[in-house]
Amino acid sequence: MNSLQSPQGFWKAGGFRGIYRGIGASAIGSAPGASLFFSVYEKCKPIIMDFQTNHGLFVEYPFLSHMVAACTGETAACLVRVPTEVLKTNMQANVLPQQNLRQTFQLILQQNKKSIFGGLYRGFGTTLMREIPFAFVQFPIYEYLKTKITKYQRYDVSPLQAATCGSFGGSIAAALTTPLDVIKTRLMLGKDKHGVFYKGPKDVFTRSLKEEGYQVFWKGIQPRVLWISIGGFVFFGSYETAVLFLR
């Protein structure tokens, strides 16, 4: 997907050879990122709901608590997710000559000696720009469908049903936030196909639009929706199974 969104184009960015490149980086950050997200999400959700109830603020809109809690959780998770995403993106797009995870990590640090935030946390703000709208869409849908199914069948949803709710919400959120994902990917890669570094999200948007047209912001939408649908099913299914087991 990152190869599709790369300024170099799919084939120059590694083609099918780069599909699984960077999987080690994703694996390293996957469990800690998910754990951090759900820890913050589940902690914040009742606090926000109580705040709404006690102060009479939009009590008729319970989905607001889900949205705020999800955004808070995503912000915390990005502390882990962004560095691994930077490594994965650079390895998949074949911008860096090294294929090894450790060598890629060292080269990113060498290219950004002034600050680790300029290297491993490049695109942190843009990632939040993508993740927060994503959470705004996915989690209200996920919680809403769970509530409706529970009322319909008069007992709690099963992990399989919850996984389906999360997968459906994720597929819609993935499609709607694809333009933000394209901007995030290009900012993490650092420079365009001419080797000129991007100055920020606005610069990525302006130059990409001028050089490739509006369709560039929908690159990779099909694999993104498919991947997140499958990933969301596993993600929420595993979470709900763990909650059921602990209870």
Q: Per the structure block, which two tokens stand in for 131?
A: 């993740």
| DSSP string for residues in 72-112 | HHHHHHHHHHHHHHHHHHHHHTT-SS--SHHHHHHHHHHHT
Give the chain's domain count. Answer: 1
- pTM more than 0.85: no
Residue 117 CB neighbour total at 10 angstroms = 11
Residue 24, domain CATH? 1.50.40.10
What are the pLDDT tens digits along the chain (247 aa)? 555 555 655 545 455 455 555 566 666 777 888 889 989 999 999 999 999 888 888 877 888 899 999 999 999 999 988 888 888 777 766 554 555 777 777 777 777 665 556 578 877 887 888 889 999 999 999 999 999 999 999 999 999 999 999 999 999 999 999 999 898 888 877 777 777 888 888 998 999 898 889 999 998 899 999 999 999 999 899 989 988 888 7
Contact in structure between 236 and 163 (CB atoms under 8 Å): yes
Q: Name the residue range of residue 214's domain.
A: 2-246
Burial class for 110, CB neighbours closer than 10 Å (0-12, 13-18, 19+): exposed
